[in-house]
Chains A and B, each alone.
Chain A
Amino acid sequence: MMTDPEFALLLARIQFAFTVSFHFMFPAFSIGLASYLAVLEGLWLKTKNDLYLDLYKYWRKIFAITFAMGVVSGIVMSYQFGTNWSVFSDKAGDVIGPLMAYEVLTAFFLEAGFLGVMLFGMDKVGKKLHYFATLMVAIGTFISAFWILSVNSWMQTPTGHEIDALGRFIPGESWTTIIFNPSFPYRLVHTVMAAYLTTAFVVGAVAAWHLLRDKMDLRARKMFSMAMWMAAIVAPLQIFAGDLHGLNSLEHQPAKVMAMEGHYDSHPNGAPLILFGIPNSEEKRVDYKIEIPKASSLILKHDLNAPLDGLDTIDDDKEPPVGIVFWSSRIMVAVGFAMLAIGMWSLFARFRKKLYEWTLLHRAALIMGPSGFVAVLAGWITTEVGRQPYTVYGLLTTADSASPLDAPAVAASLIAFVVVYFIMFGAGTLYILRLMNKSVTGDEKTAQSGPIRSAGITPASNRTITSHTGEAS
């Protein structure tokens, strides 16, 4: 039977996992979408082709809803460090606090400050200034990723700090050692590319949906082509970056890689790559496994016979939960290769001049629409569960990080988060899907029920639209 503090800790962990997973969906999409919007508006300004403007306006509405959900779910995260992980905040605040403050100062304000002009200001400022606002929003999303991933990476591979008499982490000589900690460059590249792929596959699926209805839809063709170029170029790069990130984890967080691989035992003469199986942590073995001999050593050490340590070299109470990490990493890799397959297929289709006619490809792209979200979540679970039982790797355990809260308080808040998130973000997602279901039209004013922007943008409802034709659209 769990004690009350143990139960409160478990609830707090579930709450953090739930709220961060929900939150991560929005920036994973909006980082890529902000860049896509900047590309579309740039192409419109350069080519004067209104097709790009139509696409820009179409995706801007979707961006507005996504961004709003990202903002409000993100505010939750910035307070949850204190509400639920107060000991961690006290101990690590001197190091991670300034990085998060920089995120607010250099990214959040930039995004939010220019968002209003980007969404509603097209008729109020010049074209170039409006494009500047779009660029600032896109750059802001990237700067935000930079800082928050630096914080996360420092927690995974802490460097540049000292520990004072109270056991608190304090900055050492140089902040750059903290910011550019060993896993940060890999995590940044891998995560930002994941965001780009997520967006590419959403755009590709929406385009495919409209191509399945009408193969001559020029705007859908353009979207599809752009999305498939991204898939073809970024998916292989991402697999390569993921491999490098894995090698970096092997160096700094070997237990995480052991759990990913399902290596309960050490393999002095070359470790097998377990493709599938069921990790059995009771017996410390993988049941029903299908494996390729020595392939794991080949991937991780680039040598068939290289020895690889297993979880038998790690104390039981310092191991991550193997089953979750084993499965989530396989899902991530499988989705990554499926993305690569779509990218290659699209190149072949382009070569055969069937990109816009190949119904099967369109169906496949449609199914792959949510694949980025699946991969991002699976990857996030792999890296976060894989670094357990620590919040600051090797130095501060999760159990020692939690707030002194009573279990009923955390239980009540967890239930409230689950109910509110599913209803509110469920509704927001539903509206996004409805927008996606509409085809991109050249004349937004008549096709849409509001002026330009969905919610915010739209000044009033339909009745005002008719009387105000010079809408923001």
Chain B
Amino acid sequence: MIDLTIIWAFIIAFAVFMYVVMDGFDLGIGILFPALQPGAERDKAMNSVAPVWDGNETWLVLGGGGLLAAFPLAYSIILPAIYPPIIAMLLGLVFRGVAFEARWRDPKHMSFWDFTFTSGSIIAAFSQGVTLGALLQGVQVSGRAYAGGWLDWLSPYSILTGLGVTIGYALLGATWLIYKTDGPVQDHSYRLAAKLAPATIVSLAAVSIYTPFLENEYWDRWFTMPNILFSAQVPLITGIIIFALYRALKKRHELAPFLLTLGLFLLGMIGLGISMFPYVVPDTITIWDAAAGESSLIFMLIGTIITVPFILGYTAWAYWVFRGKVSDEGYH
């Protein structure tokens, strides 16, 4: 018998990963904006995501809406627990969304809108990282509700995860620009990626080392037999990807750095899965505790199976329409 709850845990994880894949570089470009030259460099960077950012952010709505639908208890415990970072993220996305439109409309205030675009992107990325850390470090639960205070999420660990995600998104942004641009902008992006890659790896290492010390369960899940046979592969593969990323940047490959950075995020996600499973709120609520009833899960699964292939199809088509370098066959 296939367990619907596990299927849904994977669907939500897929939606979150798709969000990171698609909006990570999008936010990363905003984070990198101050490092880019005002004018042509910034214009190109923004044009490289202008036709797709709406669709990218939709995965975030699916992650949130899907969590509500499939795991309502988790949704209703986790969101109040991370109230300030979630609100900050939402407001950051508002800044960004308006800046996308306003920047071109109002050249006289372009520096203001560039600032808005950057600060919105940094706030959103940092908040997402903080949210991750706050969840991993545990949430106080009483009955079916969050029982902690409104600043419990704030800790050195959650700040560290916030910084880590921000730096990682910036690397995604830089490698995306390598892929989508050429000439001076691409050169600049290579230089940025060369600095951001080690920073990302340091953050990833710091988070990985810190996490098992948060509570014993994490330590056990990672370092006892037989789990270690599987979990030991994660750092191993990470090492291989890091090596490949360095080579790709050095040899000036265009697409590989972006894909390899996504690989790092995928491994982070798998690591997260090893740490959490089968809990959705660490040590208190499992995915089975939190899951919606069978009727709801089946009803949604039918819709998901039918629609997701179409969604992936027309999303891929939209990217294909705007394929190529921004400068050559961009939107001009």
Contacts and interface: CB of A to CB of B under 8 A. Distances in A.
A416 interface: yes
Given A90-B72, A471-B332, A112 B91 contact: no
B145 A83 contact: no
Contacts of A111: 54
A409 B84 contact: yes
B75 interface: yes
A71 B58 CA distance: 8
A260 to B, nearest CB: 32
A318 interface: no
Nearest to A449: B107
Interface of A: 64-65, 67-69, 71-76, 78-79, 81-84, 86-87, 89-90, 92-98, 100-106, 108-117, 119-121, 124-125, 136, 166, 170-171, 175, 403-406, 408-409, 412-413, 416-417, 420-421, 424-425, 427-428, 431, 434-435, 449-451, 453-462, 464, 468, 470-472
A403 B81 CA distance: 10
B70 interface: yes
Contacts of B54: 67-68, 71, 111-112, 115-116
A101 B62 contact: yes
Given A105-B62, A116-B322, A454 B101 contact: yes
Given A406-B150, A431-B102, A104 B58 contact: yes
Given A86-B80, A101-B70, 6 more contacts: A74-B61, A100-B69, A104-B65, A109-B314, A116-B318, A461-B110
Most chain A CB neighbours (cut-off 10 Å) among B72, B102, B303, B322: B72
B145 A117 contact: no
A99 B104 CA distance: 37
Contact of B72 (A79, A89, A115): A89
A471 B300 CA distance: 42
Contacts of A412: 84
Given A71-B57, A93-B69, A451-B332, A124 B322 contact: yes
Chain B interface main SS type: helix
Contacts of A472: 331-332
B300 A98 contact: yes
Contacts of A456: 50-51, 53, 100-101, 104
A461 B61 contact: no
Contacts of B93: 72, 75
A103 B65 contact: yes
B60 to A, nearest CB: 6
A115 B72 CA distance: 31
Nearest to A124: B321
Nearest to B307: A105
A436 to B, nearest CB: 12
Interface stretch (B182-190, B235-243, B289-297): B289-297
B150 A109 contact: no
A92 B69 CA distance: 9
Contacts of A136: 314
A121 B322 contact: yes
A81 B67 CA distance: 11
Contacts of A428: 98, 101-102
Contacts of A105: 62, 303-304, 307-308, 311
A127 B52 CA distance: 20
Interface size bracket, B side: 35 or more
A89 B107 contact: no
B78 A82 contact: yes
Given A114-B318, A119-B51, A455 B101 contact: yes
Interface in B84-116: 84, 86-87, 90-91, 93-98, 100-107, 110, 116
6 contacts: A76-B90, A78-B68, A83-B83, A100-B68, A427-B102, A460-B40
B98 A427 contact: yes
A121 B69 contact: no
Contacts of A175: 295, 299
B55 A112 contact: yes
A68 B51 contact: no
A214 B309 CA distance: 51
Contacts of B70: 97, 101
Contacts of A79: 64, 79, 86, 90
B211 interface: no
Contacts of B292: 93-94, 97-98
Nearest to B15: A104
B314 A113 contact: yes
A346 B305 CA distance: 50
A83 B102 CA distance: 29
Contacts of A425: 98
B87 A416 contact: yes
Contact of A106 (B61, B64, B307): B307
A159 B266 CA distance: 42
A116 B56 CA distance: 11
List the 3 closest A-B pairs by CB distance, nearest first: A93-B72, A97-B69, A116-B51
A416 B43 contact: no
B144 A97 contact: no
Most chain B CB neighbours (cut-off 10 Å) among A67, A89, A450: A89
Given A100-B65, A104-B61, A403-B80, A115 B55 contact: yes
B14 to A, nearest CB: 13
B130 to A, nearest CB: 15
B106 to A, nearest CB: 7
B34 interface: no
B328 to A, nearest CB: 11
Contacts of A110: 314
A261 B255 CA distance: 65
A169 B298 CA distance: 17
A420 B95 contact: yes
B300 A102 contact: yes
A72 B150 contact: no
B106 A431 contact: yes
Contacts of B67: 82
B271 interface: no
A93 B102 CA distance: 37
B88 to A, nearest CB: 8
Contacts of B332: 451, 459-460, 464, 468, 470-472
A459 B146 contact: no
B229 interface: no
A171 B75 contact: no
A461 to B, nearest CB: 5
B90 to A, nearest CB: 5
Nearest to B66: A101
A420 B181 CA distance: 33
Contact of A75 (B50, B90, B116): B90
Contacts of B144: 90, 166
B32 to A, nearest CB: 18
A170 B97 contact: no
Contacts of B208: none
B47 interface: yes
B102 A104 contact: no
Contacts of B31: none
B286 interface: no
A175 B104 CA distance: 46
B51 A121 contact: yes
A241 to B, nearest CB: 29
B97 A97 contact: no
